Amino acid sequence: MRYPKLFEHIAALAPLPASEWLKAEALAREQSLDKRALFLRPGDSADRFGLVLQGVFRAVRVSARGEESIKAFRAEGEFIGAYAEMLQGQPSMTAIEALEPGRVLAFQAQDLQSLEAGHPSWAQLARRVAERHYLLKERREQEFLDLSAEERLERFWQEHPHLHGRVPQRDVAAYLGITEVALSRIVSRRRKRAE
């Protein structure tokens, strides 16, 4: 087994025999990405996804107006890919970009499907992944509905302390749905209040 830590991480989501994991490893390929390199670019077919071995990634959607908004940050052990588009068989409308030099274990969606045909635990895992993704988005929905930008910022750092110092301020802003300028204002307001 080449990636025991990743296996543990995955098996914690849904029980998975090591033998199945080994089959998956055989289908995957490791990929290194420079800082700023794209794991997935908009327009690509969304049939690839990856598990982060090293580094932090951002999932970016470029809107019709040309503005970037950030759907998620993903670090070690986490899933990267255009999940929504994959489910719908559409080309990716999302870019996945490395914020630091990183390494990813990359899979083809169809390989997963063949694993699924061979053992039921993969379907179970896929279900857990869907449920988990749902819970993340549902939490975010609630934050947009109930919280001010300042409160969302506070939550963000509570929930993602491991991203500290690894993601640029402007990207945090694009994640919160505000501008860099507004974020800077909020930060300095908080700083003053804290004195």
Query: What's the min distance (Å) between Cβ of 193 and DNA?
Result: 12
Of the pair 33, 46, the CB lying nearest a copy of itself is at: 46
Interaction residues for a copy of itself, span 123-162 (CB under 8 A): 123-124, 126-127, 130-131, 133-135, 137-138, 140-142, 144-146
From the list a copy of itself, DNA, none, which binds 140 (C-beta under 5 to 8 Å, kind-based)? a copy of itself
Query: What's the min distance (Å) between Cβ of 100 and DNA?
Result: 11
- Bridge partners, 93 (sequence order): none
* Residue given tokens 């402007």 in the structure block: 170
Q: How far is CA 127 from CA 7, 66, 78, 142, in A?
A: 17, 34, 16, 23
Q: How far is CA 168 from CA 76, 97, 100, 153, 158, in A?
A: 18, 13, 11, 14, 17
Of the pair 33, 92, the CB lying nearest a copy of itself is at: 92
Interaction residues for a copy of itself, span 68-127 (CB under 8 A): 69, 71, 83-84, 87-88, 120, 123-124, 126-127
Long-range contact set of residues 131-134: C-beta below 8 Å, sequence gap at least 24? 132/13, 133/83
Nearest to 160 by CA among 180, 142, 140, 177: 140
Of the pair 103, 160, the CB lying nearest a copy of itself is at: 160
Q: Which tokens is 193 given?
A: 């209040």
Interacting residue ranges for a copy of itself, rule: CB under 8 A: 61, 63-65, 67, 69, 71, 83-84, 87-88, 120, 123-124, 126-127, 130-131, 133-135, 137-138, 140-142, 144-146, 177
